[in-house]
Amino acid sequence: MAANILLGLTLLVGGLLGFVLAKRTKHKTNSHHVVALANLKKSNGDLAAKTRALEAKELELTLANQRLQKLEEAKSKFVAVTTHQLRTPLSAIKWTFNMLQSGQLGALSNDQKTFIDKGAQSTERMIKIVNDLLKVDQIEAERKDYIFSPVQIEELVESVVFEFENQAESKKIEVSVKKPGKPLPTVEADPFKLRMVLENLIDNAIKYNRFKGRVEVVINDDNLNSTKNTVEIIVADTGIGIPAAERRRIFDKFFRASNAVAAEPDGSGLGLYLSRDIIEKHGGTMWFETDDTGTRFHLNLPLHQGR
């Protein structure tokens, strides 16, 4: 009997407990759903807001990009117009000095001659800077306009070296070309731009060389049939080298090494910057080794353009 009552009580308590628990759980589940739903709604809202924000950002970026392009075009136009306009007064100054120097306007005293020569030199410097600025602008504008065709590297190198015969001779510098025994296959390149690079490197190699120094242009086919499939051109000089502290900056726009400035005050510091840009546009690489016995610039050009 007591056991029955106990059982009954237990059941009752258990039932009550179960009911309460069940009710609580049920209540808990309900509130869970509500919270989850609210959260979902909230994150949906967040998502929509985020999407709107992203769309706004995208529009903003597109507009910014358009503005940049316009700015780039304006800059390019500005450079072209100013440089052309600078050239006219510069021509006038240059021609005037030239008339005076060549004695067309009468004989000059030694003092007059010295000052006029200095004036003429400064004018030349400025003309060179203007020309280089135009060149940079043109090259930057023409970035997309590379016209690739098969180029015979040996022929190109030899014709550029030929161009510099007189300049080398005046400094008693011996320029030689070393090429592989058998002819190279043609390289897909923009011959006009590649010529500019070689002209720049050979010009530097002569300009910053010692009296009676040497310049050697080596065409190297070691990597020709490897996975790289590149042709290498090395322009080596016996010149003054690039100071250690300045090597890192040598390809920077407008940077000139201190010993280069000392040797040759004229110069814009754009040659190497443009050269590396051109080589990279060919999918190639350009680097150098240097010490106080000379500098060797390496150009590696892939045989084909991967497009």
Tell the smallest beta-carbon distance from residue 111 to another protein (Å).
22
Q: Which of 108, 116, 133, 134 is close enough to bind another protein by CB under 8 A?
A: 134
DSSP 247: G
158 within 8 A of 177, measured Cβ to Cβ? yes
Terminal CA-CA length for the chain: 97
194 within 8 A of 282, measured Cβ to Cβ? yes
**Size, binding site for another protein by CB under 8 A:** 18
168/160 Cα distance (integer angstroms): 12
218 within 8 A of 234, measured Cβ to Cβ? yes
172 within 8 A of 212, measured Cβ to Cβ? yes
30/279 Cα distance (integer angstroms): 69
Over the window 61 to 100, marking each residue x when it contacts another protein by CB under 8 A and - when it does not, the resulting string is: -----------------------x--xx-xxx-xxx-xx-
Tell the smallest beta-carbon distance from residue 86 to another protein (Å).
8
| 161 near another protein (CB under 8 A) | no
Tell the smallest beta-carbon distance from residue 258 to another protein (Å).
28
Give the residue with the Cβ less far from another protein, 102 or 109. 102
259 within 8 A of 124, measured Cβ to Cβ? no
DSSP 184: P
Q: Which of 138, 176, 229, 293 is close enough to bind another protein by CB under 8 A?
A: 138
| 147 near another protein (CB under 8 A) | no
| 131 near another protein (CB under 8 A) | yes
- Which range touches another protein (CB under 8 A), out of 3-11, 131-139, 239-247, 282-290? 131-139
Which residues of the chain form contacts with another protein (CB under 8 A)?
84, 87-88, 90-92, 94-96, 98-99, 102, 104, 127, 130-131, 134, 138
